[in-house]
Amino acid sequence: MRAIPAGVGTTAIGVCRLRAVESARLDRLFDDPLAGALVEMSGWSPDRPGPDRRDDPAGRAALTAWIAIRTRFLDDLLTDAVGAGCTQVVLVGAGLDTRAFRLPWPPSTACFELDTPEVLAYKEEALGALGARPGCRRVAVPADLRADWPHRLGDAGWDPGRPTAWVAEGLLVYLTDAVRDRLVEQVSARSAPGSRLGLTADARAGEGGRPGRGFRALYRSTAWDDPAAALDGQGWRTEVFDPRERSAAYGRPGPPRLVTEAPAALLVSARRAP
């Protein structure tokens, strides 16, 4: 089994582990039956550094809650989008996302997974070893998001003339401001009427350039001053959600830090008018 790529690929394992933890709860917000196996196959263990390895229990609890809330939020967005006629889904920076396997897809749905060749090669080998079968037409698209990824996506069969549900989960903070803004512009310019966009956005302006520890050392961008304004200017109709509010809506009281502190990130849902 090949090793998971270092850097952002390593954080994908940590996030996958937290999805496995959530899936084991009786009151789980979603079920990811592949998550635990993907972590085990990577060779990662709780004794090694990862996104949930923090010095304080409150911080770990808040991060665990955040991963559960954002996963459920974007699951709901995609389920609603395909129900409304989006037959194409693009996971931008897909990592170890297993939505192509675990969500209830209409038969006509195509799910395109964009990520680096190294991350997708690891994922393809792991999923093949598990004998996992997607519930839709799944297409892995190796691409550099800083380069000509739209061309690669088109070559893989994606149709810009049809509505698309785009998801960028836990991604934008790892891009520089310039790359992030260009990526959003490229997605927006290629979104047909009826398209949807779901993403997570950093909520603390100015923190992106600070040195950090662990996975935070990979952060590259600052926060948008106003995510809704940034997207509405690209032709979207945008709603921004506080994860604390979503946690309450899901019937899950958040841990103290999530409840009492200003959110470190926001949940964003945007629509293109039909």
Residue pLDDT, tens place only, 29-60 = 999 999 999 998 887 665 554 444 445 678 78
pLDDT at 22: 97
Q: How far is CA 55 from the centre of its chain?
A: 25
**What value does the mean pLDDT take over residues 188-204?**
94
How far is the C-alpha of 91 from the C-alpha of 101, rounded, in Å? 13
pLDDT at 222: 79
Lowest-pLDDT range, 40-54, 79-93, 155-169, 171-185? 40-54
The tokens of 267 are what?
């949940």
Average pLDDT value for the chain: 88
**What value does the mean pLDDT take over residues 198-209?**
71
**Is-contact 85 162, C-beta < 8 A?**
no
How many other C-beta atoms are found inside a 10 Å radius of the C-beta of residue 234?
17
Report which of 162, 190, 156, 154 is spatially closest to residue 87, judged by C-alpha positions: 162
Q: Which CATH architecture has domain 69-271?
A: 3-Layer(aba) Sandwich (3.40)
Alpha-carbon separation of residue 218 from 49, 87, 160 (angstroms): 14, 34, 32
pLDDT at 7: 59
How far is the C-alpha of 97 from the C-alpha of 74, rounded, in Å? 11
Q: Is residue 10 very low, low, confident or very high in pLDDT (cuts 50, 70, 90)? A: confident
Q: What is the pLDDT of residues 12-26, one digit of tens each?
A: 888 999 999 999 999
**Is-contact 260 266, C-beta < 8 A?**
no
How far is the C-alpha of 150 from the C-alpha of 257, rounded, in Å? 39
